[in-house]
Amino acid sequence: MILHNEYRLPRTTPEQQGIASAGLLRFIEALDSQIHGLHSVMLVRHGAVVAEAWWSPYEAERPHLLFSLSKSFTATAVGLAIDEGYFALNDLVIGFFPAETPPLVSDLLAAMQVKHLLTMATGHASDPWTAMNERPDGNWIKAFLEYPIATAPGSQFVYNTGATYLLSAIIQTTTGMRLSEYLGPRLFAPLGIEQMRWQESPQGITLGGIGLSLTTEAVAKFGQLYLQKGLWNKQRILSEAWVKQATALQIANGDDPDSDWAQGYGYQFWRCRHGAYRGDGVFGQYCLVLPAQDAVLAITAGIDVFAMQQPLDLVWDLLLPSMSDAGLAADPAVQRALTEKLASLHVPTVAGQTSSPIAALVSGRSYQVAANQLGLERLNIHFSDAGCRLLGQTATSVETLVCGYGVWQAGATALFQQAFFGHTPFVASGAWTSEASFTMQVLLYETPFVHSLTLDFIDAELLIEIRINTALDSLGPVVLTAQQLPN
């Protein structure tokens, strides 16, 4: 879907906005060469896009799962609801949920306020999120309110996705609308954000802390709204007082001068070095706002959780020095090189051969798959001159994975179930990486995730090794074994 022109941010050359194309080119080249798994980048300065790129097959029109960058949008809804008089920062959390409040309320739980949810200073020693997700009756509010509190609310920062879910629940309880519905006419429509998805809990409450999917340009617009202190096209969307409060240091979260995760926390926004602030999500989803430079940088990615500081370091080391206060003279040759670089960014397809001496032998085979965590019971494999097709049968469905040789082939599958995912679009490529091994790479390209399947054919047996590019838990491979069935 292409945005109507009136909803798109304006585009200019970098020099028109005081950015040297040479410096910007060095920044993009560093992102591309040093960080594996970037999906998109958009840089806005003085309200205009000066550089934008998607690592093909990722696309501008596709929404991307933002994980905890969702939290900054939830905080925005809280600011709007407070301004509309639905509740206040100092309101007690248990006051919103009389039916879910435990029979015995500790003094610490009784003291918890809305502002403690916003600043992740609930008093919990750990995030209740896992306990909430694992609660058999699906009542996540009860799970949160029953979770042990160790210290006085407001005294200590502990990252808390459960707290953001409670904010979403408060929005729904007080306004009568889901968080996603509440933000529709107040934020998404005025900014021209036409593609939005936000996952919900078993209680029918928007997740709040995670689960929002938006395009890269929508993320950039959101950052621009905050940079403009709540104004959009001369219309007041968000109060300037809320923008100032939400992005200011509300609670300390560390003392490492070189870490952008230890510069303080606001209302669901991280403080950064160089006077900047950001919303961010795991695996490399960033909405970085640079007030001193009047700039916004939006990034989507699927990078390792331990590499998330690296893009920010490149911003400080390479991007900031390329910005000046005044416009610069045009530099057509370098601008052309930058344009060509941005257009050439891509995810490489699987390297290897398009055929193997055993391809004809194994094509058409069916396999019985040993018990496994994906729920695969049978697998049928077909090779052709164009690519490979896997038909995987589970207890409830038949999942089809198709890939091309040297090209990406599109499909959709529910095989790689992450939490709250359904039938997920993908593109895949594949190649024979040895005479008896075939590798298929599956990009779930509206998410950070990439799954690589290596099929090893050993007589009548098939071994399938499945690796994921990034995860919050172990990255070790899943190995499936399968035995050929008689024709």
- Under 8 Å between Cβ of 329 and 336: no
How far from each other are the two terminal CA atoms of the chain, in whole angstroms? Answer: 45
Distance CA 115, CA 356 (A): 62
pLDDT of residue 2: 42
What is the C-alpha to C-alpha distance for residues 11 and 5, in angstroms, rounded to an integer? Answer: 11
| Paired strand residues for 424 | 413
Domain with CATH 2.40.128.20 in the chain: 359-484
pLDDT at 1: 39
Which pLDDT value is given to residue 104? 95
Quick: pLDDT tens for 46-69: 999 999 999 999 999 999 999 999
CA angle, residues 291, 295, 298, in degrees to nearest 5: 115
Q: Which residues of the chain does CATH 3.40.710.10 include?
A: 5-343
In the block, residue with structure tokens 């929404």: 63
Under 8 Å CB-to-CB from 103, ≥6 apart: which residues?
none
Which fold does the domain 5-343 belong to in CATH?
Beta-lactamase (3.40.710)
90-114 pLDDT, tens digit per residue, is 999 999 999 999 999 999 999 999 9
Neighbours of 196 (CB within 10 A): 17
Within 10 A of 241 (CB to CB), how many other CB atoms are there?
13
pLDDT score at 422: 66
463: number of Cβ within 10 Å: 14
Can you list the positions of beta strands (E) in 302-449? 366-369, 378-383, 387-393, 398-405, 409-413, 424-434, 437-443
When the pLDDT of each residue in the chain is averaged and rounded to a whole number, the result is 95
Spans in the chain with pLDDT lower than 50: 1-4
pLDDT recorded at residue 3: 44
pLDDT at 423: 79
Distance CA 73, CA 90 (A): 20
Distance CA 160, CA 433 (A): 43
Q: Which CATH number applies to 359-484?
A: 2.40.128.20
Q: What is the pLDDT of residue 211?
A: 96
Instruction: State residue 80 phi and psi, 5-degree precision.
Output: -65, -45
Instruction: Read off the DSSP letter of residue 307.
Output: G
State residue 177's pLDDT score: 98
pLDDT for the residue numbered 6: 61
**235-260: pLDDT as tens digits:** 999 999 999 999 999 999 999 999 99
Do you know the residue count of the chain? 487
pLDDT of residue 421: 60
Cβ atoms of residues 455 and 435 within 8 Å: no
What secondary structure does DSSP assign to 196-213, as a single string? -EE-B-TTS-B-SSS-EE
